[in-house]
Chains A and B, each alone.
Chain A
């Protein structure tokens, strides 16, 4: 088993209902009840804990609420939409009309999702061109294709070539696989009109042709045409039926003399009865689409062609589920029932747009993270990360008896770990730690924090520290040292080591034996990981300046004010080995 690297996860207060109420008045002094709430031990193995524990780097901090904020409890706002490929910033107004994909020339390979590049293809064997020095294709040399330089896919495989090297997206929308131009719904209608005119005026042969071609009830429509047909069909029905109440679709007959308005006024004065009965009769007159002209599309369940094709190709030429879901909707596609299962019909995927988001505190609505709006910059205007406010905890093994399995903690024997707390604040902080004497869970290990209360110096300038008197520094360090450095022993109530803005303490654990529970055949997943829930309380004093509007106004007798932050965290120390 892979040895486990010690870790520290911090619980966001948002997962605990009891702490939510406290946030509103976090500045007011704590009542004894609050401490009682804190006494409830936190179980890192509880199913809920999966959703509330985060490494310190994932957490934000709200300065106004003085509370930790995790990715789950912040409110996000989109600052910018942009294409990850060309880094073009898309105005949010364009999203509604053009969708959430890049509409320039950025495409992903439908086979391997690699980026596609636009290349010109040399027009069919041109000896003069090949003989040219260096053979470089002449500029503007004609049709362009999209190619993938990784899996060698090219748009020629679906028969698509482009006339221009720019605005590929607009060109692609108008092309069907095979290179045929897609007719828009409007063009479809015009074509149909022509056909019907022909039918009226033309000779009988043309009439028959038109009937078999356009007049059939089950003409194949692409998605856009079908939608347009359905829409116009129902809109015309709505206009005919002139429904009461919600007749907004027929704005043209809004007027005092129009029958719709009259009936609406009637129903207003006569109560709901007339209106209701009328409405019922109206719904009866609405009919469903019956022919393709009206938007009816009969599902084609005949798959013999696909099966036939499947016989002739290789398995690798069918598409995977992933490739299929990556396919963007194509308006020129025939009804979804006809969605292909073959790689030969996959279309290039326009890049999905990405966003830059700012984060707000859910309680006070203050912004806690805001990136620079420009796409190309990675800077942040505001970024309140938790690691700038709460101490970092690092774990290091100190004294671990040898185990039968290397990299594990031997059960029933005391192991010692050094916890180093680093203070990021510019104030001296007081840290109080509390752990349950026994870890929760089926295998409970004994835990002893040798020094549960200590002070960490402020995060001062590194150079100040360096220029300080060295004798003073040595006095500060190794306060826990008993005698000379050779016999450095962990002692209860004393810190292990101290530095500029950090303090190390020792934690002793006696892991439980996993064999105690032989009745259950195997330990559950990761049940052998020794995790210690630890309650951390940090207290510090701040200068109360006049500019600090949000802080408690009642206590202005002193220049400084007590602040505190308390949270649960989990220390993952290692795996417990077999005895």
Chain B
């Protein structure tokens, strides 16, 4: 929390806020780190209780970015990366509720939709225009090609193999997510004012 005197500093050089400041629409209950990077010219919407980690990059250059409730966007992940298609659409990326985008994951812009309760694993890549269903798990380093459709409750693992998750733990997962957000809010100093 801000009360702690010794702050942890990154050894990386500070990111320069280049380009225009995108118009933002934040819920009052979000947590957004000071060093998150928001660029682009289209609006960025973040709904209640979502957490944006330091150095997460939200790029609305090619369209609007919408983040649902209680989402966690981890460090160095990219939302709205202009992929190979370079398409410019109205909605670049839309995340449902309870979505987790883990470290280094990238979601390309172009009507890309991630359903509620889905986890995008470490270093995973979701191509432009892909539609990922609800409660899916995209395991670490997996890749969803542009325009692909992933049904609800599907696990994508091991170089694109797919299987249906039959555990039925979506409710539990969401509760865990809520608890995690509770902890993160205490650990990440939030500075939404910087982006407004």
| B137 within 8 Å of A (CB atoms) | yes
User: At the interface, yes or no: A111 with Cβ under 8 Å from chain B?
Assistant: yes
B179 at the binding interface (Cβ < 8 Å): yes
Of B32-40, B85-93, B97-105, B158-166, the one with at least 4 CB within 8 A of chain A: B158-166
Interface string of B127-163 (1 = CB under 8 A from A): 0000000000101000000000000000101100111
Question: Which residue in A150, A154, A156 is a CB contact (below 8 Å) of B157?
Answer: A150
Q: Are B162 and A135 in contact (CB under 8 A)?
A: no
A134: chain B residues at CB < 8 Å are 179
| A316 lies within 8 A of B175 (CB) | no
Question: Chain B's nearest CB lies how many Å from the CB of A159?
Answer: 11
Residue on A nearest B121 in the bound complex, by CB:
A150
- Whether B179 pairs with A135 at a CB distance below 8 angstroms is yes
Partner of B167, one of A111, A135, A154: A154
Hey, which chain B residues are within 8 Å of A112, CB to CB? Answer: 157-158, 161
For B175, list chain A residues within 8 Å (CB). 130, 135
* B170 smallest CB distance to A (angstroms): 11
Q: Are A151 and B155 in contact (CB under 8 A)?
A: yes
Which single residue of chain A is at the shortest CB-CB distance from B168? A156
Q: Tell me whether A180 is interfacial, beta carbon within 8 Å.
A: no
Q: Which residues of A contact B139 (CB under 8 A)?
A: 150-151
Cα distance A327–B86 in the bound complex, in angstroms: 46
B162 contacts A152, C-beta separation under 8 Å: no
B163 near A151 with CB under 8 A, answer yes
B163 touches A343 (CB 8 A): yes
In this complex, what residue of B is CB-closest to A111? B163
| A556 to B90 Cα, complex, angstroms | 94
Q: How far is the CB of B166 from chain A (nearest CB, A)?
A: 5
> Does any Cβ of B come within 8 Å of A157's Cβ?
yes
Give chain B residues whose Cβ lies under 8 Å from the Cβ of A152. 137, 155, 163, 165, 167
Q: Tell whether A156 pairs with B166 under 8 Å between CB atoms, given A135-B179, A151-B157.
A: yes
Task: Point out the residues of chain B lying under 8 angstroms from A153, CB to CB.
Answer: 163
A157–B166 touching, CB < 8 Å = yes
Q: For B172, list chain A residues within 8 Å (CB).
A: 122
Chain A residues within 8 Å of B179, by CB = 134-135
In the bound complex, residues from chain B placing their C-beta under 8 Å from that of A147 are: 167
**With the chains together, A111 CA to B158 CA distance in Å?**
10
Within the assembled complex, what's the spacing in Å between the Cα atoms of A150 and B155? 9
**Closest Cβ–Cβ distance, residue B58 to chain A (whole Å):** 28
Nearest-CB distance from B79 to chain A (Å)?
24
Q: Which residues of chain A have C-beta atoms less than 8 A from B137's C-beta?
A: 152
> Shortest beta-carbon distance, A127 to chain B, in Å?
12
Q: B residues 157-191 with Cβ under 8 Å of A?
A: 157-158, 161-167, 172, 175, 179
Contact size class for B?
A: 10 to 19
Q: Which of B157, B162, B175 has the most CB of A within 10 A?
A: B157
- A-chain residues with CB within 8 Å of residue B161 when the two chains form the complex: 112, 151, 316
Q: Is the CB of A151 within 8 A of B166?
A: no
Q: Mark A136-177, 1 if CB is under 8 A from B, else 0.
A: 000000000001001111101100000000000000000000
What separation, in Å, do the CA atoms of A111 and B162 have in the docked complex? 10
CB distance from A434 to the nearest CB of B (A): 49
**CB proximity of A79 to chain B, nearest CB, Å:** 34
- Beta-carbon contact of B158 and A151 below 8 Å: yes
A113-126 near B? 1/0 per residue, CB < 8 Å: 00000000010000
B residues 16-69 in Cβ contact with A at 8 Å: none
A130: chain B residues within 8 A (beta carbon): 175
Chain B residues closer than 8 Å to A154, beta-carbon distance = 166-167
Chain B residues with CB under 8 A of A111 = 163
Complex Cα–Cα for A532 and B165 (A): 56
CB nearest to B151 among chain A residues: A314
Chain A nearest Cβ from B141, distance in angstroms: 11
A153 and B167 alpha carbons, distance in the complex (Å): 8
A469 to chain B, nearest CB (A): 46
- Measured between beta carbons, the chain B residues less than 8 angstroms from A156 are 166-167
Closest to B153 in A: A152
Return B25 CB to nearest CB of chain A, in Å: 32
Whole-angstrom CA separation of A135 from B158 in the bound complex: 32
- A316 contact from B162, B165, B166, B167, Cβ within 8 A: B162
Report Cα–Cα, A156/B165, bound state, in Å. 11
Residues of B within 8 A of A150 (CB): 139, 157
Q: Which residues of chain B have C-beta atoms less than 8 A from A314's C-beta?
A: 164
- The distance in angstroms between the C-alpha atoms of A577 and B195, with both chains bound, is 58
Interface string of A308-346 (1 = CB under 8 A from B): 000000101100000000000000000000000001000
Which residues of A sit under 8 angstroms from B165, Cβ to Cβ? 152
Question: How far apart sit A506 and B179, CA to CA, in the bound complex (Å)?
Answer: 68
Q: Given A130-B175, A135-B179, A316 and B163 touching (CB < 8 A)?
A: yes
In Å, the complex CA distance between A560 and B162 comes to 70
Bound-state Cα–Cα, A112 to B160, Å: 12
Looking at the assembled complex, report how far the CB atom of B108 sits from the nearest CB atom of chain A, in whole angstroms: 24
Kindly provide the distance from the CB of B71 to the nearest chain A CB, expressed in whole angstroms. 20
Chain A residues within an 8 Å CB radius of B166 = 154, 156-157
CA distance A134 to B157 in the complex (A): 30
Measured CB to CB, the closest approach of chain B to A152, in angstroms, equals 5
Bound together, the chains give a CA A152 to CA B117 distance in angstroms of: 14
> Which residues from B are CB-within-8-Å of A135?
175, 179
Residue from A152, A314, A316 having most chain B Cβ neighbours under 10 A:
A152
The docked-state distance in angstroms from the alpha carbon of A122 to that of B176 is 14
* Cα A316 to Cα B158 with chains together (Å): 13
Closest chain B residue to A125, Cβ basis:
B171
Closest approach, in angstroms, between the C-beta of A322 and any C-beta of chain B? 11
CB closest residue in chain B, given A122? B172
Instruction: With CB as the reference atom, state the residue of chain A lying closest to B182.
Output: A134
> What residues of B have a CB within 8 angstroms of the CB of A122 in the complex?
172
Nearest to A315 among chain B residues (CB) is B162
Q: Which residues of B contact A343 (CB under 8 A)?
A: 163
Taking CB as reference atom, which chain B residue is nearest A153? B163
Bound Cα distance A441, B158 (Å) = 43
A157 nearest in chain B by CB position: B166
How far is it, in angstroms, between the C-alpha of A156 and the C-alpha of B166 when the chains are bound? 8
Kindly list chain A residues whose C-beta atoms are within 8 Å of the C-beta of B164. 314, 316-317
Distance in angstroms from A131 CB to nearest chain B CB is 11
Rounded to whole Å, the gap between the CB of B178 and the closest CB of chain A is 10
Q: What CA separation (Å) do A154 and B155 show in the bound complex?
A: 13
Instruction: Give the docked Cα–Cα distance between A157 and B161 (Å).
Output: 18
CA distance A156 to B168 in the complex (A): 10
4 shortest A-B CB distances, which residue pairs? A151-B157, A152-B165, A152-B155, A316-B162
15 contacts between A and B (CB under 8 A): A130-B175, A147-B167, A150-B139, A151-B139, A151-B155, A151-B157, A151-B158, A151-B161, A151-B163, A153-B163, A154-B166, A157-B166, A314-B164, A316-B162, A343-B163
Residues of chain A at the chain B interface (Cβ within 8 Å): 111-112, 122, 130, 134-135, 147, 150-154, 156-157, 314, 316-317, 343
* Known contacts A134-B179, A317-B164; 16 further A-B pairs (Cβ under 8 A): A112-B158, A112-B161, A122-B172, A135-B175, A150-B139, A150-B157, A151-B157, A151-B158, A154-B166, A156-B167, A314-B164, A316-B161, A316-B162, A316-B163, A317-B163, A343-B163
